[in-house]
Structure 1
Amino acid sequence: MTKLPVAIVQAAPIPLAIGEGIEKAVRLAREAVEGGAKLVAFGETFLGGYPLWLDEAPGAALWDHPGTKALHRILLQQAVVADDERLLPLQELADESGAVISIGAHERMRQSLYNNQMTFRPGLPVLDHRKLVPTHGERLVWMRGDGSTLGVHQAEWGKVGSLICWEHWMPLARAAMHNLGESVHVAAWPTVRQEYALASRHYAMEGRCFVLAAGLVQAKNDLFDGLERAGGGDNAAARELLEAIEAETLNRGGSLIIAPDARILAEAGEGEETLFAELDLTEIDEGLASLDTDGHYSRPDVFELRVDTRAKDGVEWNDR
């Protein structure tokens, strides 16, 4: 298989209300699959929405802020968990269609939230990638991931992996992923800004792989809609915090599909749309003739990278 049809679903999440967000994701993913896509990508934390109040609401980072605490409570209550039955329709779609679906979510493990880019694979368990380093204000929401979720899925047409947002400026994370030999890489972003587009194109060139740079579309009103749908008690403090956000449009899409030589194959605007492209996988091997950063353009005798793939749970119980 040398021709791979792919799609990026650039859409508005249903913030906070993850159950309803899954229903929307399944509908949009199915439409992309029916349009021929064998790989479908959604942006960062599509399930739950990007926590825009951290950047946009004055005072959100203040100690003991009631609005921030209320929104955190809702995210914990709504977040996906291991073996979450709400996710079964996405797995069933992957199983029945043979397509791979990459989608971001807020995930709860014990008492912590993680930013997880999940890959649903035909006939296989979900492949998780939890963001290694939440950026700046994100650390108020998400725990750090570990090396146990740095991996790729081996599909019939090649390997697919993902990194989230500013992980694309972690040189050693990029080197580790390049070593795994991705054919297609999902770069999950809240919005594919100009500098994020540059990072995504650089990744494609450096890794000699195709990149699906997937962004979201999200407006201030979406936050209020999601808050209403999420319910969960008295949310007056959360509403007050969200009302302090000045901008109306907060995530602006800008998704890209990029070839291994960094050229743009398809580009989305700022609204909701599904972006399609057909990837010629032979371009990967042809590009490796001049640049193979994990092979002939590397110096393992000078540089050495070790990746610890053990899960770090923080506590080791000798009797369990």
Structure 2
Amino acid sequence: MTTLPVAICQAAPIPLNFEAGIAKAAKLAGEAMEHGAKLVAFGETFLGGYPLWLDEAPGAALWDHPGSKALHRIMLEQAIVAGDERLLPLQELCDRHDAMISIGAHERVRQSLCNNQLLLRPGEAPLPHRKLVPTHGERLIWTRGDGSTLGVHQSPYGNVGNLICWEHWMPLARAAMHNLGEAVHIAAWPTVRETYSIASWHYAFEGRCFVLAAGLVQHRQDLLDGLASLGGNAEAEALIHEIPDEALNKGGSQIIAPDSRVLAQAGEGEEMLHAELDLSEIDNGLASLDTDGHFSRPDVFELSVSTEVKSGVVWD
């Protein structure tokens, strides 16, 4: 298959309320698929919303903060888990339209939270990718992923993979993904600001792949509304009110070709971004640059990637 119709759903999540978020995602993804999209991308942690308080609420990192603890408890209660049946509406869309959905979520793994960018695909279980290193303040809520979720989906259009946010500044993670031969890469961001655009353009050029740089649109009020939809919590609400009353995730999503040119550019509000990917561009670009092949110098450099599950507990 030489062309792939894709879409980015640049939208506001429904923070904390996962069932409502899944319903919104299903509505948007369904609309994109009705318009022909075979791959639909959402931004980082669309399901559950990006935890804005980590960066924007001055008290969030204080030891024993009641608001931070309340929000953490709510996310643990709401987060998806492996085999979560709440994702079935999204899976049914993939099966019905023979399409894929990349969507970010807070995931509960044992007693911890992970940042997971799921790739749902027709007729198969979702392919997880757990963020290898939570960025700076994110370490207050998310644990680290391991190499067992560093992979791609082998679709009829070519290999499709995900990385999340600042993983795009991990040179060895990029090299590992390039070795897997992505045709299309989803770069999941909370918002695609200038430096994130540069990282996405660079990834497309370096990896000779198409990149869907997917961002969110999120305001403090979205957090308050999501909290209220779950019955509210005074301590959590007080912490959220420390966040500036303005839009903090502003979209900026882009669809980028393997030569780093921008095929489609979103603004700052909610919108649907569409593009038709000409997959023949990938092999054309490999004539001049193949970072996993004739530019790799295996006689000088070697990368070893562990794909073992690192749970920290082994039961004999």
Q: Same fold (TM over 0.5)?
A: yes
| Aligned 1:46-195 pairs, distance under 5 A | 46-195=46-195
Query: Identity of paired residues, percent?
Result: 75
Aligned to 2:304: 306
Cα distance between partner residues in 2 of 1:101 and 1:59? 36
TM-score (norm 1): 0.98
- The C-alpha deviation readout for 1:263-310, integer Å capped at 9, x for no partner, is 000000000001000000000000000000000011111101000000
Aligned to 1:238: 236
User: Conserved in 2, the CA contact under 8 Å of 1:74 and 1:230?
Assistant: no
Aligned to 1:291: 289
Deviates more, 1:14-23 or 1:245-254: 245-254
Cα distance between partner residues in 2 of 1:249 and 1:278? 30
Cα distance between partner residues in 2 of 1:264 and 1:230? 40
How far off its partner does 1:258 sit?
0.2
How far off its partner does 1:230 sit?
2.4
The residue type equivalent to 1:278 in the other structure is E
Cα distance between partner residues in 2 of 1:95 and 1:36? 14
Aligned to 1:37: 37
Q: Secondary structure at the match of 1:61?
A: coil
Q: Secondary structure at the match of 2:8?
A: strand
Cα distance between partner residues in 2 of 1:198 and 1:284? 19
Cα distance between partner residues in 2 of 1:3 and 1:259? 13
- The C-alpha deviation readout for 1:116-174, integer Å capped at 9, x for no partner, is 00000100111000000000000001000000000000111111000000000000000
- The C-alpha deviation readout for 1:94-134, integer Å capped at 9, x for no partner, is 01110010000000011000000000010011100000000
Cα distance between partner residues in 1 of 2:229 and 2:141? 21
Aligned to 2:263: 265
Q: Secondary structure at the match of 1:127?
A: coil
| Aligned 1:189-208 pairs, distance under 5 A | 189-208=189-208
Q: Secondary structure at the match of 2:309?
A: coil
User: Conserved in 1, the CA contact under 8 Å of 2:2 and 2:278?
Assistant: yes
| Aligned 1:205-220 pairs, distance under 5 A | 205-220=205-220
- The C-alpha deviation readout for 1:180-209, integer Å capped at 9, x for no partner, is 000000000000000000000000000000
User: Conserved in 2, the CA contact under 8 Å of 1:43 and 1:216?
Assistant: yes
User: Conserved in 2, the CA contact under 8 Å of 1:115 and 1:131?
Assistant: yes
How far off its partner does 1:247 sit?
3.7
TM-score (norm 2): 0.99
Cα distance between partner residues in 2 of 1:155 and 1:244? 44
Cα distance between partner residues in 1 of 2:277 and 2:93? 22
The residue type equivalent to 2:130 in the other structure is R
Unaligned runs of 5+ in 1: none
Cα distance between partner residues in 2 of 1:230 and 1:186? 31
User: Conserved in 2, the CA contact under 8 Å of 1:152 and 1:160?
Assistant: yes
How far off its partner does 1:3 sit?
1.1
Cα distance between partner residues in 2 of 1:187 and 1:141? 21
The residue type equivalent to 2:194 in the other structure is Q
How far off its partner does 1:250 sit?
1.1
- The C-alpha deviation readout for 1:16-71, integer Å capped at 9, x for no partner, is 00111000000000000001100000000000000000000111001111100000
- The C-alpha deviation readout for 1:61-90, integer Å capped at 9, x for no partner, is 011111000000000000000111100111
**RMSD (Å) for aligned C-alpha atoms:** 0.7
Cα distance between partner residues in 2 of 1:176 and 1:166? 15
- The C-alpha deviation readout for 1:206-235, integer Å capped at 9, x for no partner, is 00000000000001110100001123xx61
Deviates more, 1:241-250 or 1:103-112: 241-250
The residue type equivalent to 1:52 in the other structure is L
